[in-house]
Structures are given as structure tokens and as C-alpha cells.
Structure 1
Amino acid sequence: MKYLRHTYCLLSLIIVGANESNGQQRPQYTQYVFNNYLLNPALSGTENSVDVKLGHRMQWSGLKDAPQTSFVSAHWSLGSDYLWQNPLSLPRESDNPMSKSYMRHYTSSPAHYGVGVMAVSDRTGPISRIDAGMSYAYHLQLSGTNNLSVGTYIGLSRISLDENALDLETDGDPALSDVLATQFKPDASIGVWLYGARFFAGLSVQQVIPQVLAFTKSSNYKQGKTVPHFFATSGYKLFLDEEISLIPSFMLKGVSNLPLSVDLNVKLSYKDQIWIGGSYRKSDSFSGMVGFNLKRFANLTYAYDQTTSTLNRVSNGTHEIVLGIQIDGAYQVFSGGRTWR
């Protein structure tokens, strides 16, 4: 029985993410500021383009069975209302939609709807999780240059245990006699997003549907559960001159019974063609980021995290790479991102 209890206690610790550096049940991202859609469904359809992102994250490289996360996401606006110099419009050939002069005449976009899809695969040791679903958002036009959107995400989570990856002290441990290797759980999140030409601010909650998490059919070991994850973020774009911009931002993450997580970020961009950035996550890591845009259709970004917690004794840091593609279906051309990206 001691092996039975030991095994399920171990699995419970893994599934609830109860460790000092990443005390959350959902994947952690460094470059979320360039793809807040992963955390907030209210971004669905923010601009008049299909915003596609593909990414992979290798957390704590060098550490056996460390978290590995891959994701793909896409979201776009619905309807055909386009106004000049707002998120739903395309600039003329000679315009730079990220420039200071372009934003001087920026206006809020008309009220519209947005939808999106995403899939996230996350694996830590013997536990793997796949989340997939769809999002919907409504964007309200405010006066002047501002829009407010409200969105929701509905999906399904597949959570699995690889029995063969377990290293047990005794072969045939009774802990695996009634193991529940795969289970499916409904998932949902909600969010709001306020944005303009040069700023953004958002609030969101993931895992709003409480679920029991256990890898056994025995009622004696069903103590694991999902908890809501709260996110609050904001940023502002400052122009140092016509060609150089600076975007400071922050994010607060809250999970029940865990300390508040604080992220501070900054991005320095030149002509919106190449940029560098940095991030600090309190009591966890420092990060360096770099990226470049390929004309008006794609961008490639990379981030490296240097762990500052005690995990740095066994970890070689974290690597994260993201490929972004902007597809404008209405004009049948590729269009780069704009506003505060």
C-alpha cells in the first residue's frame, strides 16, 4: 500500500503543478505578449487578417522529463466593414501601419465579431495534455480610437498518463491495477480586451469549469482538481522617433493558493522589421527575446529564459520559438501585424 499511496501522491503533484517555479496547471509562455490570444479569447478577430501562430517551447532544457509545449492558433474577424486606418483596414502600399504618422490618424474599428481556433500540446514526464477548442468575441466600437472586446473559449482537454514511463520500485505495483490512463474534460475561458492604436489592456480567466483530476477509478485518490487561472496584462507603445518604438508591458497571473506571479516586459523595435526584448518573471527567470518580420506576411521570434530559482542547478534554461503568419483573406494578399504588436 505504501507504493500505491506514493505513486498517486506523485501523480497528484505533477498534475496540479505544485512546484516552486511553475505553480500552475496550464503551460507557461515567454512570448505571450506577441500572442495574447493564447491566454485571452477576447482577442479573436482583433484585426482584418487571419493571425496564425505556431510555436514550440522546451522548458528547463537538460532536465529529464521537463515540460515541452507546442501550439498552433489562428483567429480572424467576421464581416466586411472596413474603415481607413483602423485595425480592420489595410494601409496603402506606401504606408507603414506601425509608424508614428500612420497612428496619428488611427480610428477605432467598427463593431464586429471574431472567431478563432487553437490547439496546445503539453507534456511533463509521464503526463501529457492536449487542449483544443474554438473562441468567439464581440468587438464594441468606443468613441475616438478605442475598442472593447468580450470573448469566450470552449474546448476539450485530453489528459493522459503513460504507464510505461513510470519508474516504480516494485514491478506490478497495485497502484496501476485500476489506472485511468486517458480522460477527457470540458474546458472554458473568458476574457475582455481594451485596445487602441498604441495600448492594450486585458483580463481573462482560464479553466472556469471545475474538474476532478485523478488517474485512478478508486474514490480514495480523487483529490486532484483544476483551479481557475487569472491573467491581467497591459502595455503601451512609445515612439522614440519615427522609426524606433518601445513597448513596455506587464502581466499578473493568479492561481489559487499560490503567490501572485509578476512579469515585466519590454520590446524595442526598429521600423517594425527587427526587434529585441527582455522579460523578468519574479522569483523565476530573466528572458531575452529577438525577432524579425519577413516583409508583410510573416515573422519569426525566439526567446531564451535563464532560470533564477534553484532549478538553475540542473537546468540549462528554456528555449521558445514562434512563427507568425498574417493572411488577409479579404484582399487576397499577405499583411503584417500593426498597432501595438
Structure 2
Amino acid sequence: MKRLLLVLFLLISIAAVLQAQQKPQYTQYVFNNFLLNPALSGIENYTDVKLGYRSQWTGLQGAPTTSYLTVSAPLGDDFLNGDASEMPAAGTADPASRSYLQNYEAAPNHHGIGFMVVSDKAGPVTATNIDATYAYHIGLTSELNLSLGVAAGVARTSLNTSLLTTTTPDDPAVDGANGGIWSPDLSVGVWAYASNYYLGASVQQVLPEKLYFDAKDAADQSKTVPQYFFTAGYKIYMSDDLTLMPSVMVKVINPVPITYDVNAKISFRDIFWIGGSYRHGDSYGVLAGFNVNSLINVGYSYDITTSALNTVSNGTHEIVLSILLNNRYKVTCPQREF
């Protein structure tokens, strides 16, 4: 039974890549929405570097693993030299306190740039995306910002044919698969944010690309499809030390059924946070994060599989390391990204 499930899983993984080219899924995106939306480029008053690793369905041979590097930085003297949510140097204002809400001011108009590399492997299929990002942040009111962003780069999909057994030697259907397929990659997004809420929308894989490894085969169903993400979150001040942040993400990928995530996290000042998540028809998750100091933050999550794979899966682990460079205000947690 376990081998049968593995074979079915590998076939489904290959079909997903060759027909829909779905992006990796994350639980820790609540710690790094920049992965889903380029409009978050430069949202913070420091250079935000994040390293992430996700091992999905551990215990199942050939299960997906995802690793990534993201870098986001602001540009603009008005923002860099005159703002960290309008707080004094050394981070004396706690972003989880009511006083922060009262003193919050929208960020000055500024630019943001970024870079990301994401590698996702599922069975014999490896998908890699390399993108540069840009965003412009506008102060709509004294307390509300709107940012527009774009990510552009390249995507590569390859198939490790040594893991496959075909009835025909040198099968043209996978000929040249080890060298991979290169294609352009484009994403766009919009993000509105204030002191206690955010709203976002983005679309990835804007440009449809053929995915057949055999260049002579040109079936229409082998193209990538756009993937739409809609996100929202709201910060509830439970006390001067505790805040509750419920959030939701809806993902739309035609012809796959619409999926959604529901999350909630509780933060204690700017020291640590814990939370939970539910992904419809897939998993429950527990999350935790610790802000070590003004240089390093760490986040971890564990997902419990609720689909049919729970009979062979030991769950999903994901860890994110965040490094806050050029952090002149010595803040120990995000001020605007929640």
C-alpha cells in the first residue's frame, strides 16, 4: 500500500508540474508575505533577509521539499532617515502596544527593491524561480499606505530521468528533461497597510508558458496558469502586552478548486509569538516565532496532515531564519509587515 501511494504521489506531482505548475505552498507565509506578493518589497525600515526550508509530508519518499532566500530593502532618504513607524531609535515603542497604534504614521513615499530564489522539489521534478522585485509605497492618508509591486525573472523546470523507468529508451516525451526548461516569470501585486490591518492581492505566473520537455509536442494543456492570492489580516489589542492577529488567505488556480487558509497568532510585545493555522482540506498547523535580538528572528511551524496522505505522512516541518540588516532603529520585530 505504501509503495502504491508513493507511485500515485509521484504521478500526481509530475502531472501538477506539467499541467498547472503550482507554486510551493507555505505555512510560514504569515512571517514572510513577500513570498506571495512583490508589493511588500521595502516595506520595513531595514534590509530584511530571510532563509526558509520546508519539508512536506515527512516520511514519504519523494515528498516535496522547498528552500528559499528572500531579500527586501527600502530606498528613499525620507523613509530611511526619518521613520521606523515614527519611533525613537533603539526601538523604545512596542509595536504590540496601544501607544504604538496611537502614534503610528504612514510611511513616507518610497521605493522598495528585492530578490528571491525559490527551489521546490517533488519526486523527480525540480522547479526553481529567480526573481528581482520592485515596489512603490504611497501614503494615501496620514495612517494608510498603498504599495504596488512587480517581480520579474526566470523559472526553470527539470526532470531527473534517472528516477524514471520508461518502456521506450530515450523516450522523446522526456528527452532533454535533465537540462530543464527555462521560461520568463512575472508576478504583480498590491498591498494596503495601516497600524492594525492589511489587505493584499497578487497574481503569480502572469505569463503562460509551455511545459512539455519535448519541444515538438505543443498541447495546449501543458501551459502554466496564473495563480491568484488574496490576503487580509487584522490586529486586535488584547492588552498592552498581548495582541491577537487573525488572518486569511484565499488562493485561486483554474481549474483547481478554490482553497483558503485561516490563521491566528498571539504576540507578546516584540519578544515572541505563537499561533495556529488551518488549510482547507489539507492540514492543521502550529506556529511559533522568537525575536532573538535586533539582528535575528526565528520562526517554526509544524503541519498535521488531514488528507488521505496522513496514513504515510509524519507531518510537515518549516523553519524560517530572518536577519535584519542596516537596522538603524534597532527594532526587534517587523513594524509594518506584522
TM over 0.5: yes
Note if contact 1:216-1:222 (Cα within 8 Å) is conserved in structure 2. no
Q: What is the DSSP-based 3-state SS (H/G/I as helix, E as strand, rest coil) of the residue aligned with 1:81?
A: helix
C-alpha deviation, 1:90, in angstroms: 5.2
Q: Shift of residue 112 of structure 1?
A: 0.8
Question: 2: distance between equivalents of 1:299 and 1:11?
Answer: 33
Match of 1:236 among 228, 234, 237: 234
In structure 1, distance between residues paired with 2:283 and 2:120: 20
Q: Which residue pairs with 1:174 in the alignment?
A: 171
Distance verdict in 2 for CA 1:10–1:178, change over 3 Å: farther
Distance 1:292 1:335 in 2: 10
What displacement does 1:102 show? 2.2
Task: Sort the Cα spacing of 1:220 and 1:208 in 2 relative to 1 into closer, same or farther, 3 A.
Answer: closer
Report whether the alignment pairs 1:218 with 2:216. Answer: yes
1:66 aligns with 2:63: yes
Q: Please, which moves more after superposition, 248-257 or 176-185?
A: 176-185
260, 263, 281: which is aligned to 1:262?
260
Of 300, 305, 308, which aligns to 1:307? 305
How far did 1:178 drift? 3.4
Q: Superposed, which structure 2 residues align to 1:1-341 within 5 Å?
A: 13-16=15-18, 25-82=22-79, 87=84, 89=86, 91-93=88-90, 94-168=92-166, 170=167, 172=169, 174-175=171-172, 178-181=175-178, 182-219=180-217, 223-328=221-326, 331=328, 336-339=333-336, 341=338
Amino acid at match of 1:15: V
Instruction: Tell me the distance in 1 between the aligned counterparts of 2:302 and 2:237.
Output: 26
Q: Give the superposition deviation at 1:201.
A: 0.6
1:92-118 C-alpha deviation (Å, 9 max, x unpaired): 333324422122111111111110000
Shift of 1:60: 0.7
Residue 202 of structure 2 contacts residue 228 of structure 2 at CA under 8 Å; is this kept in 1? yes
Shift of 1:163: 1.1
Corresponding residue number in structure 2 for 1:3: none
- Contact 1:70–1:120 (Cα < 8 Å) also in 2: yes
Q: Following the alignment from structure 1 to structure 2, what is the Cα–Cα distance between the partners of residues 207 and 240?
A: 39
User: For the structure 1 residues 141 and 294, does the alpha-carbon distance in structure 2 shift closer, same or farther, using more than 3 Å as the test?
Assistant: same
The farther-off stretch of 221-230 and 297-306 is 221-230
For residues 313-333 of structure 1, what are the alpha-carbon distances to aligned partners after superposition, in whole Å with 9 as ceiling and x for unaligned?
Answer: 11111110000111226x396
Runs of 5+ consecutive residues of structure 1 not aligned to the other structure: 1-8, 19-23
Say whether the 8 Å CA contact 1:265–1:280 is kept in structure 2.
yes
Per-residue CA deviations over 1:280-308 (Å, capped at 9, x if unaligned) read 01111100011111122221111011111
For 1:64, give the aligned amino acid: Q
Q: Structure 1 counterpart of 2:227, which letter? A: H
Q: Percent identity?
A: 44
Retained in 2: the 8 A contact 1:198–1:340? no
Structure 2: gaps (5+ residues): 1-10
CA distance in 2, matches of 1:310, 1:91: 52
Query: What root-mean-square deviation, in Å, do the aligned CA atoms of Structure 1 and Structure 2 show?
Result: 2.3
Which secondary structure state, in structure 2, belongs to the residue aligned with residue 260 of structure 1? strand
Between Structure 1 and Structure 2, how many residues are aligned?
326
Q: 1:217 to 1:246 in 2, by over 3 A?
A: same
Specify whether residues 220 and 270 from structure 1 end up closer, same or farther in structure 2 by C-alpha distance, changes over 3 A only.
Answer: closer
Segment of structure 1 superposing worse, 187-196 or 154-163: 154-163
Residue 213 of structure 1 aligns to a residue whose secondary structure is: coil
Alpha-carbon separation, structure 1, partners of 2:285 and 2:117: 25
Q: Distance in 2 between matches of 1:220 and 1:131?
A: 23
Is this contact kept in 1: 2:96–2:243, CA < 8 A? no
Contact 2:110–2:136 (8 Å) recurs in 1:
yes
Are the structure 2 counterparts of residues 174 and 159 from structure 1 closer, same or farther at C-alpha, using a change threshold of 3 Å? closer
Q: Report which stretch shifted further, 307-316 or 211-220.
A: 211-220
Structure 1 residues 134, 201: CA separation in 2 closer, same or farther (over 3 Å shift)?
same
Q: 1:42 to 1:299 in 2, by over 3 A?
A: same
Asked if structure 1 preserves the Cα contact closer than 8 Å seen for 2:96 and 2:240, the reply is no
Contact 2:211 2:224 survives alignment (8 Å): yes
